[in-house]
Structures are given as structure tokens and as C-alpha cells.
Amino acid sequence: MKNNRRSFIKLAGIAAAGLALAPKAMASGGGAAPVKVNATAIHAAHWAMVVDTTKLNTAEGIEKLAHVCHAIHNVPTIPNKQNEKWLWGAPYDEAFPEQENPHLSESVHTREYPLLCNHCVNPPCVRVCPTKATYQRPDGIVAMDYHRCIGCRYCMAGCPYGSRSFNWGEPRDYLDLKKLNAEYPTRMRGVVEKCNFCVERLAIGKLPACVEASEGALIFGDLNDPDSDVRKVLRERFTIRRKPTAGTEPSVYYII
Amino acid sequence: MLEIALKGSKRYYGWIAFLLVLIAIGSMAYANQILHGLKVTGMSRDVSWGFYISQFTYLVGLAASGVMIVLPNYFHSYKSNKHMVIFGEFMAIAACIMCLLFIVVDIGQPTRMMNMIFHPTPNSILFWDMIVLNGYLFLNLLVGWTCLQADRANLPHPKWLKPFIYTSIIWAFSIHTVTAFLYQGLPGRHYWLTAILAARFLASAFCSGPAILLLVMMVTEKFTTFKMPKKALTTLVKIIAYAMCVNMFFFALEVFTAFYSNMPGHMHPLVYLFAGVHGHHELVGLMWTFIAFAAVSITLLVTPKFRNNMKLLPWTLGILVIATWIDKGLGLLIGGFNPTPFNTITPYWPSGNELLVSMMIYAIGALVVTVLFKIATGVKQEMGQSQAMACGCSTEDTCECTAECGCKE
Amino acid sequence: MKMHYGAPIIVGLVIFIGALCAPFVVGTAVTKTYKQPELKMPANEKECVESKEFMREKHMQLLNDWRDWALRDGKRTYTNHAGKEFTISLQNTCMKCHVSKADFCDKCHLDAGVSPYCWDCHVQPEGLK
């Protein structure tokens, strides 16, 4: 039987493929995990931020907050166009290019606006990520699993807000290693990163670092709770969001 | 059949050695990139994809274009293409390999690439692109190799192959459509955010791909006894002509939509590319070269006198390839990222390292093409199919040349 | 029947088989002289997150689970088999007891020939230079 050898090889190939997959399939079934949410964590149905640009609108003011954020998260300062930033400032026409108007009030036009990840309700970055390294948590935060990121940068092309940075080189080359925050990791070259709404702080009951340092100019809270601080200001003040036409539904609102 | 690739002239081995040297040089540049990260490229926070991804996009077109030979042959029984089919398929194999390599060198953490399989994510177009590209590579290997083997044994192509052939024809359209979806589904990139992008990708693929194939075939003819059947050649040139017209028509549609609607987002990338903004004119010269070359190539292609002039044809095709390459291999990508989300301009130009790595991949592609075409032409020669005759015709042509007619000139 | 090139073939075979067996021979010798690395254990603590045996064998899986639980499930409190709770964190839990990466993790890993890439990002307790 001439065919025997061939069919054997075929079967063996299929069996080998099965063997490679089986452990994974078996490992994924399993009992309840012995983990729970930290007792001190603060929760929300959907986290959101309101930026009061009548209070926070200077380059220096924003720079101060950016410094706090970048220091806590070990974000390097790279002095070229391969730079990284989680929080930064920009003038009106860069922050809201679609909503410009030649006769904008003087103060609105000269203000500097803090920019950060919008933690969109419909985040394009999550939609395009091929490994689920960027994902949306049930509380609305668009988070990143740096361990899984392959650095394809599809999310950077997908983000309409330029909120993402890539580690083109080794970030530690640009960090002051003596001033690192030893409680938080750095990143390595070849992965994307961005603002994480301070998930690691929310998990231990602290507000995001920029909010804490903002002296009330950044309001943070639960968008789905009608009695929350953010809902209160959103009811009372006029706010806009960046690039409404992109359909992303940002969770960061700006009081103008 | 692989043994055919091992028996070659000094010149053949010299060419292979040359390619290997290029690959070695390029791989040193790649080692440098692995060592230092993608910072050795010209890419930046604002222009986060560059030369690699644009070459990938362009080459997907080359991969898909083989179908312009295969489809008439199988769907319309256009048998003049019979002996050309294998070259379309082998070209697609080389193109797919180059595409995959361009993705690999673009990735920041190549060692984690399998995460795309460990954590499959169907909502990501990149996931589908990986599937269609690998699938197309596999289909072409299977179909091309099996058919050539059957040809060599003087046997009809096996029946079980039929479904694979038909699938591969449809599949060719899918690879470029999916690659366009990679771009055209992103809400913040106006230059890409257009329903016609996939169609335009296909149109530009079906002119530039066969043009490259024909150029490579002309070189092949110089070094082998193979001769393209005249009918197949002229048909393909007509297809190229139509596809290029459609491609430019689609481009004109983009321009109309952007400027008649006066939507800033749609206009800005075009203005940046063709006129420059905020004092940035980096691409203006190139983009107008694209328009000029496109116009010249269309003129030459639609005029029968020029189209049928075999001396002129390589130049016509070359001009067309350059035009489409500037458009799709450069402008498309840079125009997608500029203006940036902040309505500013961040110029991009590939770094030397980036170009060397790209050269490595192109050399690998050339190596694959060389070896595969060597095999294919070797088999054709053995079988005496589509061979050059003394008068310059192919054995597949109905040759009416006489010793005196001087048709060869 | 005469064997062509008999001598070179046999010499080649001997070298080949020798090379094939060398690792086992050397390995047995190394195993005899192998000493467990001396780990610097936490001074004020007696117990790890889990039993010593579990940690020795499964700390890599545990870390993997920890990272997925913390980041992907947002659950950062781990209850061990004895019911004791730990905050999930590589830098702020593991390395607060095992205060020296060099004298603990690395000692084993060097012997085992693994170099986890975690420290490309996570900051070791010794700090970075």
C-alpha cells in the first residue's frame, strides 16, 4: 500500500498540530481565580474627566501637571520628534482643529489646553489592536497591557487625537535613573504607551496624579452617576470635546 | 523541480551572489535596528508608519496583480495567457514574502509577533491581513507548484486543484481590499477615510503590478529562451492601460469630492501633498512628478502606435511604475499622517538605515523571483513551450515571418 | 564487497557520535559537582506568597496570572492557599520582601539559563544605574 505512508504523515501532522494547541485549550478552562478587587480601590461605572480651561490654561500650569504625570509613570523626556508624552499642552487650533473660528474670543484663543488620552467610549485604538494589548475596562478606562504589545503602531494610526507615543528607542536612555519612581515600571523600546487615567492609583484609592495636583481645575468622577462631581459641572457649564465628528465619544470634556 | 534552480550559468550565479551581498549588507542594517530600536528610522510620534508599511502596501498590489493573467485564463478560457500564468503566480509568491517581511521589520517587538495568533482579534483588520496574506502565499505556492509539476510531466492539471485556483482568484481581490481596509476605517485620517480607497488600491495594483511583471519578463526574455506570446503581452498591456485610467479617474474623484465639498479635513492632505502648507513643501515636487508621469504613461498607453511599439513599451511601463509608486508607496502614507491630528505638519523622510533594510527585503524578493522564474523558464524550455524563435516571435504566436521580412527588427 | 572511503567514514562517524554524547558526559560531571545557589532569603519574613515548593516550581505561572489579573481583570488582591491576602505587584510586593534581585532571582536564573525580560521595564529594588 503505497498510500499508507502518506496518510500516516498527514495524520501525524494533524496530531502534532493538535498537541501544540491542546495545553492551551486545557489551561484556559479552570476554576475561580483567588483574586478580588482591592478593598481600598475606588470605583465608577464610567470614569470621566472635565478640564476647566478657565482655571488651567497656561503652558506653565500644564507643564507642571505633565511633570507630575511623567515623573510618576517614568515617561522619558526625549528632545526630538520621536518624543513621548502622556499629558501635554497645545493651543486652541491644535487641540480643537475642527472647531476653530477666526473671531474666537481673545482669551479662548490664547489659552493653552491640556491634552491627554480621551479614554473614548468607542476607542478606535482598541478596535484596531491585533493582540488586545489595548483594551477597554468595564469602567471605561482604555488601558494597555505592555506585556502583550507587539509595537505594530496600528493604534497610533487609529487614534484621531495623537494621544499615543511609541518607544522608538530605549526609554531608559532618556530617564533620570536616580529619580525613577521605583513603584512603577518603565517601558522598553518597541512598545506603545499612553495615559492610563492612573489605573494603578485608582486601585489603591487615589485620584489620578494630575487631578490631585490640579487644584480643582481637573474634575474626575463617574459619568454614569448623576450626583458625581463631573456630572454636576457638566450640568452647569458649557463643555466641548475634541473632534466630535470622529464618533469616538471622548470621556474628557473641556469647559471653555 | 528545485534542481533546475541549481544548474545555471556563471552569470546566473553571479547575479545570485550579488543579491546575497545586498541581503548581507541590508541584514547588518536590520541588526542595527534590532539593537537600537526603530529610532534608527525616520519615523516619529506623528508619522508613526513609514517606508516599510508603504512598501508593504505597494507590494500587496504586486501580489494581487497576477490575477490579471490568471483570471482571463481560467474564467474566460483566454488560453493565450496559458504559459504566462505561472509567472504571475510566482511573482505573487515573491511579493507576498516581501509584504510579510516588511511587516516584520516594522514591528517594534518582533519576538512577540505570535501574540497575533495566541490572542486572535477578529475586530482588528491587521489580523485579517495576516490571514489573507499568508493564505494567498499558500494558495499560490500550491497552485503554481502543482501546475508546473503537472506541465513538466505532460499531465493535465489535477482536478482537485480547481477549487484552489478559483479561490485564489477571488482571494487576490481580498488581499488588496483588506489592505485598504487597514487604512480606510480609521476615523482621524481623512486622506484614507474614503470608501473608494479599496477600489483605487485595486486599480493601481492592476496597472502597476502587471507593469512590473512585464518588465521582469522582458529581462527574463533576455537571459532565457522564453518568449512571451504576443497576444498575451498585448492583452496585458491593454489591461494596464485601462487600470491606469481607472486609477487616475478614482484619484480625480477624490480631488473633486475634497474640493467641491470644501471640507477642510478632506482638502488638507491634498493641499499639503500638492501645494504645501505651513511652509512645508517636502512632497510637492514628487507629487507633481506623479501626475506628470501618470499623464505621460496614459498618453503612451492609450495611443495604439505607442502602445504597440515594443522599443518604447519598457519606458512606458517604467514611467507608470514610478508614478504609481510615488502615489501609493509614498504619498498615500505621508498624506495620511499629515496634517497631524493637531493640524500641524511633521515631515517624514526614510533614513539610510530604513532604506538599507528595505533594500534587503527587495533583494530577497528578487532572489525568490530569480529562483522561481529560473525553474519556470527551465520547465518551459524542457517542454518547448512559448520559446523564442529565430525571427523573434514566440512559438505560441502564429508566426508568418519569412527570412526576408526582417520582422525581427 | 569493499567499502569505499571506509576509514574517513568511520572516523567521521566516531566524531559524530562523540559529539552527540558529549553533552550527556559533561552534564553528568556537572550534575555531580552542582551546588544549589545560595539565595539571600528575606530576613524578617518566614513565608512566601505560597509554599516554598509552589514558588520554586510555579512562580513564573503565578507572575503571569498576577499580571493578567491585575491589568486585564482589574483585580489586584490575591488570596493565597492559606487565606492570606497580598497586593498583586511585582515591584511592590515580591521585591519588597526579596529586596535584592541580584542575590535572589538572578542567582537561580543564572544557573537555569533563563533571563526573564521583566526587568527591561520593571524596576529592580537595587535601582538602575
CB contact under 8 A, A177 and C129: yes
Predicted TM-score (pTM) of the model is 0.90
Would the pLDDT of A17 be above 90? no
**Residues ≥6 apart with Cβ < 8 Å to B303:** none
pLDDT band at A2; cut points 50, 70, 90? very low
A87/A75 Cα distance (integer angstroms): 10
Q: Which residue has the cell 499629515?
A: B338
Distance (Å) from the C-alpha of residue B147 to the closest C-alpha of chain A?
20
Nearest to C71 among A36, A143, A187 (CB): A143
- Write the DSSP symbol of residue A222: E
Whether B121 contacts chain A with CB within 8 A: yes
Q: State the burial class of residue A253 (Cβ atoms within 10 Å of its Cβ: 0-12, 13-18, 19+).
A: buried
Whether B52 contacts chain A with CB within 8 A: no
Distance (Å) from the C-alpha of residue A8 to the closest C-alpha of chain C?
29
Choosing among C49, C87, C93, C120, which should be mutated to test the A contact, i.e. which has the most A CBs within 10 A? C120
Q: Which residues of A touch C120 (CB under 8 A)?
A: 188
Residue A150's pLDDT is 96
Residue A26's pLDDT is 41
> Which chain A residue is nearest to residue B112, measuring alpha carbons?
A150
Residue A30's pLDDT is 37
Q: Do the domain assignments include residue A19?
A: no
A177/B320 Cα distance (integer angstroms): 53
Residue type, C69: W
pLDDT band at A90; cut points 50, 70, 90? very high
Residue A31's pLDDT is 43
Q: Which residue from B222, B44, C71 is spatially nearest to A147, judged by alpha carbons?
A: C71
Whether A247 contacts chain B with CB within 8 A: yes
Residue B273's pLDDT is 95
pLDDT band at A1; cut points 50, 70, 90? very low
Q: Which of residues 136-195 of B touch A (CB under 8 A)?
A: 182-183, 185-189
> What is the per-residue pLDDT across B259-302, written as a single tens digit (0 to 9) for each?
999 999 999 999 999 999 988 999 999 999 999 999 999 999 99
Choosing among B33, B43, B45, B267, which should be mutated to test the A contact, i.e. which has the most A CBs within 10 A? B45
Residue C42's pLDDT is 82
Which one has a higher pLDDT value, B384 or B236?
A: B236
Among the residue ranges B287-291, B393-397, C30-34, C42-46, the one predicted with the least confidence is C30-34
Average pLDDT for B104-124: 94
Residue A207's pLDDT is 96
Distance (Å) from the C-alpha of residue C62 to the closest C-alpha of chain A?
11
Q: What percent of chain A is modeled with pLDDT above 90?
A: 80
pLDDT band at A80; cut points 50, 70, 90? very high
Nearest to B37 among A97, A160, A170 (CB): A170
Distance (Å) from the C-alpha of residue C43 to the closest C-alpha of chain A?
21
> What is the per-residue pLDDT across B329-342, written as a single tens digit (0 to 9) for each?
999 999 999 999 99
**Long-range contact set of residues B84-87: C-beta below 8 Å, sequence gap at least 24:** B84/B217, B84/B228, B84/B229, B84/B232, B84/B236, B84/B386, B85/B147, B86/B144, B86/B147, B86/B148, B86/B151, B86/B376, B87/B213, B87/B217, B87/B220, B87/B373, B87/B376
Would the pLDDT of A25 be above 50? no
C-alpha distances in Å from residue A23, one per residue of A30, A131, C55, C97: 12, 20, 21, 33
A31/A28 Cα distance (integer angstroms): 10
Whether A205 contacts chain C with CB within 8 A: no
Q: Do the strands A142-144 and A134-136 form a parallel or antiparallel pair, or are they unpaired?
A: antiparallel
CB contact under 8 A, C80 and A34: yes
B327-356 burial: b if 16+ Cβ within 10 Å, else e: bbbbbbbbbbbbbbbbbbbbebebbebbbb
Would the pLDDT of C82 be above 90? no
Q: State the burial class of residue B271 (Cβ atoms within 10 Å of its Cβ: 0-12, 13-18, 19+).
A: middle
CATH of residue A165's domain is 3.30.70.20
Average pLDDT for A64-90: 96
Distance (Å) from the C-alpha of residue A85 to the closest C-alpha of chain B?
10
Residue A32's pLDDT is 53
Whether A191 contacts chain B with CB within 8 A: yes
Q: Do the strands A252-255 and A142-144 form a parallel or antiparallel pair, or are they unpaired?
A: unpaired
* C-alpha cell belonging to residue B31: 541588526
Whether A78 contacts chain B with CB within 8 A: no
Would the pLDDT of C45 be above 90? no
> What is the per-residue pLDDT across A118-157, written as a single tens digit (0 to 9) for each?
999 999 999 999 999 999 999 999 999 999 999 999 999 9
Q: Which of residues 3-62 of C touch A (CB under 8 A)?
A: none
Whether B123 contacts chain A with CB within 8 A: yes
CB contact under 8 A, C127 and A185: no
User: What average pLDDT does chain A have?
Assistant: 89
- If one looks up domain B2-387 in CATH, what number appears? 1.20.1630.10
Whether C82 contacts chain A with CB within 8 A: no
Whether A127 contacts chain B with CB within 8 A: yes
> Which chain A residue is nearest to residue C96, measuring alpha carbons?
A183
Average pLDDT for B209-228: 93
Residue type, C17: I
The parent domain of residue A218 ranges over 47-255
CB contact under 8 A, A188 and C120: yes
Q: Do the domain assignments include residue A16?
A: no
> Which chain B residue is nearest to residue A245, measuring alpha carbons?
B187
Q: How many interchain CB pairs under 8 A, A with C?
A: 71
| Touching subunits for chain B (3+ Cβ pairs under 8 A) | A
Would the pLDDT of B84 be above 80? yes
Residue A22's pLDDT is 46
User: What average pLDDT does chain B have?
Assistant: 93
Distance (Å) from the C-alpha of residue A101 to the closest C-alpha of chain C?
42
Which one has a higher pLDDT value, B363 or B402?
A: B363
A73/A181 Cα distance (integer angstroms): 7
Nearest to A203 among C72, C76, C128 (CB): C76
The upper half-sphere exposure of residue B402, i.e. CA atoms within 13 Å in the direction of its Cβ, equals 2
Residue A72's pLDDT is 96
Would the pLDDT of A247 be above 50? yes
- Write the DSSP symbol of residue C47: -
> Which chain C residue is nearest to residue A144, measuring alpha carbons?
C71
Whether A61 contacts chain B with CB within 8 A: no
Which one has a higher pLDDT value, C34 or C96?
A: C96
| Touching subunits for chain A (3+ Cβ pairs under 8 A) | B, C
Contact between A211 and A116 under an 8 Å Cβ cutoff? The reply is: no
Whether C93 contacts chain A with CB within 8 A: no
Whether C125 contacts chain A with CB within 8 A: yes
Q: Which residue has the cell 487565606?
A: C83
CB contact under 8 A, A98 and B264: yes
